[in-house]
Amino acid sequence: MKSTKEQLIIDIENLLNRYEGVKPTHIDPALLQFLDRNTLLSIIDSILRQQEKTNESNIEWLEQFKQY
């Protein structure tokens, strides 16, 4: 079974690679010695917030094409 930090690295990679047409991101596992669990969780939170903002922007952009 993978350690919590290893799983968090995998989760970050999955978040970064969830869009088609994007070059896959691979994070060096050696980073585990430098990053603690809280830092990894913070990175995940930051990615999710950025993706949420992007989705909100897309919704606003798509609204202009909506017919009422």
Q: How many CA atoms lie within 13 A of 66 on its CB side?
A: 8
Say if residue 1's pLDDT is above 70.
Answer: no
Question: Which run of H or of E encompasses 6?
Answer: helix 4-16
Q: What confidence tens digit (pLDDT) does each residue in 48-67 have? A: 988 887 767 777 776 777 66
The predicted structure's pLDDT at residue 68:
58
Q: What confidence tens digit (pLDDT) does each residue in 3-35 have? A: 788 899 999 999 988 877 778 888 888 887 889
The predicted structure's pLDDT at residue 12:
93
How far is Cα 68 from Cα 14, in angstroms, rounded to an integer? 38
